[in-house]
Amino acid sequence: MYLVAHIDQAICSETACRLCTQYCPEANTILYDNAAKTAFVAVDRCKGCEICVGICDDLAKHHAIKMIMITDLESPFELSKEGFRPEKWDGNHP
Amino acid sequence: MSVKNISITPGWEKYMTKEYLDLVERGPYGKQKKVSEMGSFKEVLEEHPMCAGCAMTLFIRLTMVGLPNPEHTILIGTAGCGRLALTQTSIPFIYGNYGDTNAVASGLKRGLEVRFKDQAKDVVVMAGDGGLADIGFSAVMHSWFRKERFTTIMLDNEVYGNTGGQESGMTERGALLKMAPKGKMFEKMDMIGLAQTAGVAYIARLTPTNPTRVASVVRKAVLIAREVGPTFIQAYTSCNIEYAIPTPKVLDDARDIEAKRYGFMEIISDEAKAYLDSIDTAKKAKK
Ligand SMILES: Cc1ncc(C[n+]2csc(CCOP(=O)(O)OP(=O)(O)O)c2C)c(N)n1
Ligand code: SF4
Ligand code: SF4
Ligand code: SF4
């Protein structure tokens, strides 16, 4: 098993600075939920590099991202299954 | 400008992949997207097999956001790591033989100008430091001297990443690599100086530490190449594998190298500057 990035929505939505998604090397991996004003991770695309953790901790100074075991996610969001459909995003991310 | 090039023939939607449908409906076509909008639109770059945390991957991703007209762009690449991602975009990609990129791009751009008189087509070469400064060196220099109107982007990881760590002309003197065990014995090549000598209209050197800047530099380079002359971007895009950089530290490394020897630099000709200003003036007048 492996680690993926996980965003704490409560912390992120306080500012939703959108910095992490600009620095993630992978395309459409940290997505942005306009309704809930939070970033969230498409775990099927996350390669576990931890760059976003450093961005949120050191640049944004928000500490909203942690690396967690993929098996510990209850209902992981997978872009390949859901498609890129922002109109359906409603804050219900794992 | 239109999305006609990528739109789906009516009735065929059900045969297209989700990714493609999303791209047509929620992609970056028709209006230049901003870096601050990333995460809210479908990017032209898909999944690809480049290494986790690779700075080159990040740079390519940001480049795609900076392209002024992705629907009228053709990418040229070659052997090396970058093409692993460049081939996974919804932008036509031509695989030049290692060393041939700028010769292929020259012919292609000239052909496109003849074929599409009313529609500007942007040609962008993206290849490694080995591909452009070593084996492709002659074709790169000649395309510049001939003032060919396309953009050359060097993904400078200062090593042959794809083949396991040989030194390139762009490697720093003294760098120890798997296949340069005694350390490189010669200086890093001054491609910026050579581009100036060859009269390149717009030259930029940067790292991926500032995403907005990457997109803006790419946009300028592509626009200037369209109307004025050759443009060159040299980007530090570390290879975390060959330089043993732990992935969480990849951006720290980029900031460090940027501060020490790879600071942001832009050299623009008077003609290119006047052209950019005219675009800005036209944009403001429209508002
Ligand atoms: C004519 C030719 N010679 C050698 C090779 C083998 N080759 C493939 S990739 C590569 C090195 C790539 O290095 P660089 O251009 O710096 O790109 P990077 O992989 O570092 O991004 C080489 C030598 C080749 N494909 N074609
Ligand atoms: S950097 Fe942190 S606070 Fe900012 S959008 Fe990302 S997760 Fe949220
Ligand atoms: S760990 Fe790496 S790949 Fe995963 S979301 Fe963070 S920056 Fe992107
Ligand atoms: S080998 Fe180096 S340059 Fe190539 S994808 Fe991996 S980290 Fe990036």
Contact B19 A83 (CB under 8 A): yes
Q: Is residue B13 part of a domain?
A: no
**Per residue in B183-242, pLDDT tens?**
999 999 999 999 999 999 999 999 999 999 999 999 999 999 999 999 999 999 999 999
Q: Is residue B154 part of a domain?
A: yes
**Probe residue for ligand 2, chosen from A20, A63, A67 as the CB with the greatest number of ligand atoms within 8 Å:** A20
Sequence-separated (6 or more) residues with CB below 8 Å from residue B16: B8
Contact A49 B211 (CB under 8 A): no
Please report where in the chains the tokens 């995003």 appear, as a residue: A89
B1 falls in which pLDDT band (50, 70, 90)?
very low
ipTM of the complex, rounded to two decimals: 0.97
- Closest residue in B to A42 (Cα) is B39
Which residues in chain B have their CB less than 8 angstroms from residue A28's CB? 39, 42-43, 45
Instruction: Choose the weakest-confidence range: B4-8, B73-77, B233-237, B251-255.
Output: B4-8
- Closest residue CA from atom 8 of ligand 2: A12
Total domains present in chain B: 1
Sequence-separated (6 or more) residues with CB below 8 Å from residue A13: A36, A37, A38
Query: What CATH number does residue B106 fall under?
Result: 3.40.50.970
The domain of B125 spans: 51-286
Q: Is residue B132 part of a domain?
A: yes
Q: Is residue B45 part of a domain?
A: no
Contact A31 B39 (CB under 8 A): yes
Mean pLDDT of B23-47: 94
Tokens of A49: 């590099």
B244–chain A nearest CA distance, Å: 14
pLDDT for B5: 78
Nearest to B224 by CA among B93, B111, B123: B123
Nearest to A89 by CA among A30, A49, A46, A45: A30
Q: Is residue B146 part of a domain?
A: yes
Q: Is residue B26 part of a domain?
A: no
CATH of A3-80 given 3.30.70.20, 3.40.50.10470, 3.40.30.10, 3.40.50.1970: 3.30.70.20
Per-residue pLDDT of chain A (94 residues; tens, 9 = 90+): 899 999 999 999 999 899 999 999 999 999 999 999 999 999 999 999 999 999 999 999 999 999 999 999 988 999 999 999 999 998 887 6
Coil, helix or strand at residue B173:
coil
**Structural domain boundaries in chain A:** 3-80
With a 6 Å cutoff on the Cβ, whether B157 touches ligand 1 is yes
Which residues in chain B have their CB less than 8 angstroms from residue A23's CB? 58, 208, 211, 251
Q: Is residue B235 part of a domain?
A: yes
> Which ligand 2 atom is the nearest neighbour of the CA of A60?
1
